[in-house]
Amino acid sequence: MEYHELEQPDNLSKKEKEDAMGAYLMMFAAMGAGLPLPIINLIAAVIYYFVQQKNSRFVKFHSMQSLFSQLPTTLINAGALYWTLQIFFFKDLEISDPYIGYLIMAGILNILYFIFSIIGAVKARKGHMYYFLFFGKLCYHQVYKITNTSENNTVRNQPPM
């Protein structure tokens, strides 16, 4: 599999660097607007990602990484909210150890997500690539891989071996 060449900081415009940074900072702004509903951040990230589709691969990579890395956090937070309401309304406030463990895990996840998003924003502003565990490779693959359609040079004939 072949990949497009990575942009280097000197070749990126100030606008591109700021758009890439914006992908990470976007969700903090959204968080302030719709706090108890984690879904609002997600909607904001999706919109941001689609708005950046015509932008350079560098910006697309960072928007996609921000969006994808937000998915598990949102799911885990929604799970915490659901579980809490469940306990509140149906379980007579009986708190179990797995529930506390889950909340602590969710807390750690949110803190890590926050820290890595800040680092991502700073790196993007400098025009650097920054790869999160798993999401970095996944998004690089999605954004930079050379597909036949994008290059419009269909490989029809192959050598015999």
Q: Which residues of this protein are in contact with other proteins, per CB under 8 A? A: 1, 36, 88, 92-93, 95, 97-98, 100-102, 104-105, 108-109, 133-134, 137-138, 141
Least gap, CB of 144 to other proteins (angstroms): 11
Residue environment code for 129-161, b if the CB has 16+ CB neighbours within 10 A, otherwise e: bbebeebbeebbeebbeeeeeeeeeeeeeeeee
Residue 144, phi-psi category: left (phi > 0), alpha (psi -120 to 50), beta (remainder): alpha
Least gap, CB of 92 to other proteins (angstroms): 6
Closer of 24 and 135 to other proteins (Cβ): 135
Helix pair angle (57-90, 39-51), 10° resolution: 160
Closer of 27 and 76 to other proteins (Cβ): 76
Closer of 20 and 80 to other proteins (Cβ): 80
Least gap, CB of 17 to other proteins (angstroms): 26
